[in-house]
Copies of this chain bind each other. A is one copy, B any other.
């Protein structure tokens, strides 16, 4: 399979990991989910990310998920390999690339504090990964690590295998602008795909992002917004985005968001069950009622927009 490179764009959906009601891996749902994402306009898939409950899988289960997903699609697959140490990261990355993945994604561990520690960590990562292309995941809300623009540019300069930024700093619009100004001024231009559940997607595209890498349960919205932006139809992009925004917002609740996402995906038939592995938060009856109201309103609004 082709390796990930700086030209990646569009929507890389962050895939959930489907489980059976007893918590075991649901392999059939993996296939169904991959087909669903492809059908809804994904240009790539990212698996075993934070929202893929990667930390809750054993090494063997991670291997099973990687192989199943890669076997099901010709789209590029990025594999989250964040782990406490380099040895674990390197061995999971090797397994992923052998299975046919396009690249891997690495978030900084929460213990990093200074700019120098962050840059040094990614030097070590690049060394441990060898030729494998990697995505730098910049997600301070979850990792507790703030990665300044200067550190990203240093990593991009020092590590040719860093080909993409998964951007979910928040607020982060001016960070995209700063990175694009830097590449306009001669820095290597890497792909920037944005996360945060798509909460700022229209604005991110205007700042120079290449698309989204996030798992909002309606990937077609993201694909359509990206397409409308590329076509110069800004109002169309915003109209679509605004229709889904109440649900984007609801899904963006930390901790709870994954259960929301899985619930919607199950309701849409993309996976069989909305099971979240422990430790995790099932949805309360009141939250389910919220979602029923919000999805009903979405249908009506989409009908209005035609």
Cβ–Cβ < 8 Å partners of A85 in chain B: 53-57, 277
Task: List the one stretch of A5-13, A97-105, A114-122, A215-223 in contact with chain B.
Answer: A114-122
- Quote the shortest CB–CB distance from A298 to chain B (angstroms): 10
Residue A86 contacts which of B199, B279, B287 (CB distance < 8 angstroms)? Answer: B279
Given contacts A199-B249, A278-B124, contact A286 B171 (CB under 8 A): no
Cβ–Cβ < 8 Å partners of A54 in chain B: 84-85
Please give me the residue from chain B that is nearest to A60 by CB atom: B91
Cβ–Cβ < 8 Å partners of A257 in chain B: 171
The DSSP consensus for interface residues of chain A is helix
Residue of A170, A203, A254 with most chain B CB atoms under a 10 A cut-off: A203
B-contact 0/1 string along A229-251, CB 8 Å cutoff = 00000110010011001100110
Q: Does A273 contact B (CB under 8 A)?
A: no
Residues of A159-210 contacting chain B, CB below 8 A: 170-171, 173-174, 177, 199-200, 203, 206-207
Q: Report whether A254 and B286 are in contact in the complex, using a CB–CB cutoff of 8 Å.
A: no
Cβ–Cβ < 8 Å partners of A83 in chain B: 55, 84
Q: Report whether B56 and A86 are in contact in the complex, using a CB–CB cutoff of 8 Å.
A: yes
Q: Report whether A253 and B148 are in contact in the complex, using a CB–CB cutoff of 8 Å.
A: no
Residue A203 contacts which of B115, B177, B290 (CB distance < 8 angstroms)? Answer: B290
Instruction: List the 4 shortest-distance A-B pairs measured between CB atoms, nearest first.
Output: A55-B84, A171-B253, A56-B85, A113-B146
Known interface pairs A56-B84, A174-B284, A177-B286; 5 further A-B residue pairs with C-beta atoms within 8 A, sorted by A's residue number:
A55-B84, A84-B84, A86-B278, A116-B148, A173-B287
